Structure 1
Amino acid sequence: MKKLYLFLSLFIIVSTSKADWVHLTSFPSSNAEDILEKNGVLYAGASGSGVYVSYNNGANWVQRNNGLTTTRATTIQSMAYLSTGLFIATTDGIFKSTDEGLNWTAKNNGIQIGPGAIYYFAYSVFEDAGALYAGTFNAIYKSTNDGDNWTPVTAIIDHNDFCAFNKYNNMILAGTSGNHTPVIYSTNAGANWVNMQLNGGFPTGAFCIYSEPGKIYVGTALGMYYSTNNGANFVNRSVGLGPDPYVFSIIKYGNVLFSGTNAWVYKSTNEGLTWDTVTFSGQTFQDVNKVLISNNRLYAAAYTGLWYRNLSEIITGVENPSGGIPVEYKLLQNYPNPFNPVTKIEYQIPRESHVMIRVYDFTGKEVQTLVNESKISGSYAVEFNASQLSSGVYFYKLEAAGFSSTKKMTMIK
């Protein structure tokens, strides 16, 4: 999707630094679109050559394309490791693997090619409360049976380009890089969608959305926008990002924000008020499509391949999200309990892990996914908003690195 925004002048050489980015020359493709980590395994998606897997932090890669039979299917837009397996969004639609990418199955039933396109074109896949959402060229689609069937939940319009999803409180946020309202949200599982306004409206193109309790970050075609009041108002925080910044990826490590842009990688220690480059010497970057933190490294998936920097070379004295480093995985009792309709759930992660926190009703049906992402070691809190649910007993479950813990809570309206 970012290819629509390439510029011929994006190759930039920056000042010399003692520490430097390492180019993973073992990665076979020159164009990396996405990178993610699950249980210590790295997955990378490329444009035109499909999916690659590494079991040794990127030192070696194996191609995993069985079932991706067309060039369109091997043109990866994004990847997501969801509760039932690994999903990829490609220019030939949605595919799923349950064996670390060894085999892929198409999941496109119900997705329309639609106006303005001659083939499936998917940008993103997202999971919430047991349902899947797919962002495509022309609409958002929803599936309640693991992608076997899809139903459009937005109008089918040429060039919507829904390329990003995120969950914030009870809102599903969706970003589009197309020609329409860049951010929309739903509070009723996709049944209805509302435009999210920024003073005068968002600029064209919302490529990524990142959130944490009380904060929403949106990467756009005019830099980063930031909200601390549930999206009611946003402010632009792009000082230092350079001219005409396109922000394609945002992540956070402790109190440090990292952004991947159309020029290079930046960091901020003040919620984006100012940005500094994560510099490198004698190399070129172009369109940093994704940044990832894994195994004490900062990875960059870019139009010029895969790169990494050791975090110790970039930041020192990172503020832990809450207090010292925990010594064990721990799920705490929510408070208040009973609650109406919002409660807070705290948990502790002793080392970097992919964390899942889900909420279930008394029948065992999943009603909401609160956390589904990699977390560094630290103590965290997440809010559960049950305003759309009935009174009763619910269970919340933490899963991380083989650890599992479940607790009960009660909502009384």
Structure 2
Amino acid sequence: MRRIFTLLLVLFLNTVTKAQWTKCNNPAGALPYSLTIQNDTLYLGTLSNGIYRSTDGGFNWTQINNGITSMQIWNIAYVNGVLYASSTNGTVFKSLNGGDNWVLSNTGISSTTIIRNFAFFNNKIFATSTNKGVYISSDNGSSWAQHNSGIVGLVAEPLLIVDTDLFVGVNQKVYKYDSVNQNWISKSTGIPNNTVGSLAYIKDNLQNISLFEATVNTNDVTISTNKGDSWTVAKSGLPSVGVYSLLGIGTEVYLGNDYGVYKTTNQGVSWVDVSGFTNASPAKFLCKSSTDLYVIQEAKLWKKSLASLSVSDQVISVQNVNFKIYPNPSYGNFNIEVTENLIGAKATIYNLLGQKVKEFELKSMTTNQNLNQGIYLLEIEKEGNKTTKKLLVN
């Protein structure tokens, strides 16, 4: 009897865990591969049946292939009011009416490549490719030209716009676009020698930007807090498998890898598994609507409410949690300066492996500390609100 009860309990717990994610009504016979969402309308690119659209969160789907001549869709994106979809042999389709009709839009693109991502920046459309680097279009996709000045290598994947900056991952490097000179500048110091597959960013409660980069063939994840000038490892808690997708939501970053979905709430100091899937299998693509996080896993589309993940599109305001570190960089000794309302707050210092180095209470407006050489993250918490800053000790 006890064994039966235990078995039922395990099955129940597995069901509850799996139920945290809801499997969408995937179109019959389709192999979902990419997803874009605009105004909570889902556009699903598949490797077998072209493109589908859903206006009810993936419950019902309509096939929208009018004008699509190749059913193998590798990427779909909503860019500057236009839908773009890429297929084999350099094929690109675009739609001006939400997918009702599609037209070819690949003049100038090599027939031996596949377009992987799209982005709209400085009134131009940028696209990455599997073996031709970066393409650019100044006429809304009617024609394209390679735009690789400054880039070494031609295997390009992620594009990321951060305010007034554009970043691209090519081979083992990240590049930032120089709009004045119209070329690319390497921003790769500290990035491991593995293919860059994903880029994402978040802003903390003080609007400081953290860039994240991940590689496709290892669990190497790095973070930059200085617009890519340098990167440091941020992968504590991740299994040793490749990463397929990164997505920033609010102050959190989500990651899809061979085992499922992980997230960090502390700028990469540590990652936790939020998969809840019965079988560990690749989480290939992450995307979000205003209410849900979507993932393509096991060639199926799943979703989970953002509320259940305790995240919001809005950056949580913690105006009362602000502090300074000086000197930074330091040579061992440094000061933490806070406002009076933060006296009594908890301060925690982590190394970049996610290990806790120190934890102490802030007993005055200025606290002196000493650390050995290294790169650290200092987190201050008061009444459930947290903010983190980077500290360099030479």
Q: TM-score under structure 2 normalisation? A: 0.68
Q: TM-score under structure 1 normalisation? A: 0.65
Amino acid at match of 1:153: H
Please point out which of 270, 276, 291 is paired with 1:280.
Answer: 276
- Alpha-carbon distance, 1:268 to partner: 1.5
- Alpha-carbon distance, 1:112 to partner: 2.3
Question: Which residue is equivalent to 1:197?
Answer: 188
Please tell me the root mean square deviation across aligned C-alpha atoms, in Å. Answer: 2.8
- Alpha-carbon distance, 1:37 to partner: 1.5
Structure 1 residues 109 and 128: alpha-carbon distance in aligned structure 2, compared to 1, 3 A threshold: same
Please point out which of 254, 261, 267 is paired with 2:263.
Answer: 267
- Alpha-carbon distance, 1:285 to partner: 5.0
Deviation digits for residues 195-253 of structure 1 (CA, Å, limit 9, x no counterpart): 22232x43322122112452211121333211001111111211122122x22222233
Structure 1 residues 98 and 257: alpha-carbon distance in aligned structure 2, compared to 1, 3 A threshold: same
Q: Which of structures 1 and 2 has the larger relative contact order (alpha carbons within 8 angstroms, sep 6+)?
A: 1
Contact 2:133-2:147 at 8 Å conserved across structures: yes
Structure 1 residues 75 and 155: alpha-carbon distance in aligned structure 2, compared to 1, 3 A threshold: farther
Question: Which residue is equivalent to 2:306?
Answer: 311
| Percent of aligned positions that are identical | 22
Question: Which residue is equivalent to 2:174?
Answer: 183
Question: Which residue is equivalent to 1:76?
Answer: 73
Contact 2:210-2:267 at 8 Å conserved across structures: no
Question: Which residue is equivalent to 1:210?
Answer: 200
Between stretches 225-234 and 155-164, larger displacement belongs to 155-164
Please point out which of 81, 85, 103 is paired with 2:101.
Answer: 103
| Gap regions ≥5 residues in structure 2 | 1-10, 203-207, 319-394
Cα distance in 1 for residues equivalent to 2:304 and 2:27:
16
Question: Which residue is equivalent to 2:156?
Answer: 162
Cα distance in 2 for residues equivalent to 1:300 and 1:242:
19
Amino acid at match of 1:75: Q
Name the SS of the counterpart of 1:193 in structure 2: strand
- Matches of residues 56-135 of structure 1 in structure 2 within 5 Å? 56-70=56-70, 74-92=71-89, 93-113=91-111, 119-135=112-128
Contact 1:208-1:220 at 8 Å conserved across structures: yes
Contact 2:25-2:58 at 8 Å conserved across structures: no
Cα distance in 2 for residues equivalent to 1:146 and 1:190:
22
Name the SS of the counterpart of 1:80 in structure 2: strand
Contact 2:67-2:102 at 8 Å conserved across structures: yes
Cα distance in 1 for residues equivalent to 2:317 and 2:149:
46
Cα distance in 2 for residues equivalent to 1:33 and 1:275:
25
Cα distance in 2 for residues equivalent to 1:27 and 1:271:
36
Amino acid at match of 1:323: S
- Alpha-carbon distance, 1:173 to partner: 0.8
- Alpha-carbon distance, 1:319 to partner: 9.6
Cα distance in 1 for residues equivalent to 2:181 and 2:53:
33
Q: How many residues align?
A: 296
Structure 1 residues 39 and 49: alpha-carbon distance in aligned structure 2, compared to 1, 3 A threshold: same
Larger of the two Rg values belongs to structure: 2
Please point out which of 134, 137, 144 is paired with 1:143.
Answer: 137
Please point out which of 214, 220, 225 is paired with 1:219.
Answer: 214
Structure 1 residues 107 and 156: alpha-carbon distance in aligned structure 2, compared to 1, 3 A threshold: farther
Structure 1 residues 304 and 159: alpha-carbon distance in aligned structure 2, compared to 1, 3 A threshold: farther
- Matches of residues 387-402 of structure 1 in structure 2 within 5 Å? none
| Gap regions ≥5 residues in structure 1 | 1-12, 114-118, 325-413
Cα distance in 1 for residues equivalent to 2:59 and 2:229:
45
